[in-house]
Structure 1
Amino acid sequence: MNFRRHPYNDEPEINLIPLIDVLLVILIFLAATTSFTRYQQLRLDLPQARGDAPQRHTLDLAISQEGMYALDGQLLDGASIQAMAEALRTARQARGLDILVIEADGQAPHASVIRAMEAARMAGIGRVNFATRSPE
């Protein structure tokens, strides 16, 4: 018989040792079944400039490190795509050329080159080339 006035509060006790045993078995299982594969990086063969001097039957668009544009050595006012497309269109019609060579600085923003390509598309220029530096 239990003659205590207050009922004995028997709190359940969690035994951690079996839990640790189960976790170690799971860890061993995961380590044994894991496959260790190395992810390959993309291998790129970048083009290098080889050959004769470039022909001067092209429109040359230079892009500086600051994102400024120059068409055939003349600085373009405004960096909007529409203004650049209009300048390319008038130069194309005046000289009768349909090839654009983009000479972008290595530190030029990517967006500047994309703007130049979009302006060339809007101006109706069919061929866009990129100038490269010859290896030393």
Structure 2
Amino acid sequence: MHFRKRRPPEDPEINLIPFIDVLLVILIFLMLTTTYSKVSELKINLPTANAQATKARPAEIMVLVAADGRYMVNQRMLAGRGIETLAASLAQVAGNAKNTVVIINADAQASHQSVINVMDAARRVGLTQLTFATQGQHDGAAKSEP
């Protein structure tokens, strides 16, 4: 009898190539299906402080909006409640200065439409710098918030 020498049994080995292929497919799948949150950014120009020189403040127009929809521009009550009346008053107060800041001071109970009317009237006369005056919770002092 002729016996062949048996080869020693090979150690089992794990084939990593299919494992890597599966992980790659899963990685691609996750990359394509992940939703990224989009952060809205407000583009604002922050004021700079310079202790040596002070900047002149631009002209301001204070517009008060009452709870019942009446308007007051720079302490002068307007006769009508329409956008045309408000725009005419803003144009008269602003004159030729288009860099005037309009400060909207609306009552907490004022309708949203009344505030939008002020913004629309300012846009019609070319006043693009608007800010809202708010009141602190505890102190009651009015603050201007851009």
TM-score range, shorter-chain basis?
0.5 to 0.7
Q: Which runs of 5+ in 1 are unaligned?
A: 1-54
Q: How much has 1:129 moved relative to structure 2?
A: 0.4
**Structure showing greater relative contact order (alpha-carbon pairs closer than 8 Å, 6 or more residues apart):** 1
Partner of 1:69 in structure 2?
A: 71
Partner of 1:109 in structure 2?
A: 111
More strand by share: 2
Q: Which runs of 5+ in 2 are unaligned?
A: 1-56, 139-146
Partner of 1:84 in structure 2?
A: 86
Verify the 8 A CA contact 1:58 1:97 in the aligned structure 2: no
Moved over 4 A (4+): 94-97
Q: How much has 1:104 moved relative to structure 2?
A: 0.0
Report the Cα distance in structure 1 between the residues aligned to 2:70 and 2:109, rounded to whole angstroms: 12
CA RMSD of superposed structures (Å): 1.9
TM-score, normalised via structure 1 length: 0.55
Secondary structure in structure 1 of the residue aligned to 2:64? strand
Number of aligned residues = 82
Match among 60, 78, 94 for residue 58 of structure 1? 60
TM-score, normalised via structure 2 length: 0.52
Q: Percent identical across equivalent pairs?
A: 29
